[in-house]
Copies of this chain bind each other. A is one copy, B any other.
Amino acid sequence: MNGQFQIATHVLTLLCKQPGELLSSDYVAGSMNVNPVLVRKEMRKLRACGLIESKEGKTGGYSLALPPQKITFADVYKAVKLPPALGQAKNKPNPACPVGKQIGAHLDHLADEVEAAIIKKLSTITIFDFVNQFD
Q: How far is the CA of A82 from the CA of B73 in the complex (A)?
A: 21
Question: Which has the most chain B C-beta neighbours within 10 Å: A77, A97, A121, A130?
Answer: A121
Q: Cβ of A69 < 8 Å from any Cβ of B?
A: no
Q: How far is the CA of A103 from the CA of B34 in the complex (A)?
A: 15
The size of the chain A interface, using a CB distance under 8 A, is: 52
Nearest B residue to A96, CB-CB: B31
The residue from B6, B86, B93, B121 contacting A32, defined by CB atoms under 8 A apart: B93
A interface list, Cβ under 8 A from B: 1-7, 9-10, 13-14, 17, 30-34, 73, 77, 82-83, 85-94, 97-100, 102-103, 106-107, 110, 113-114, 117-118, 120-122, 125, 130, 133-135
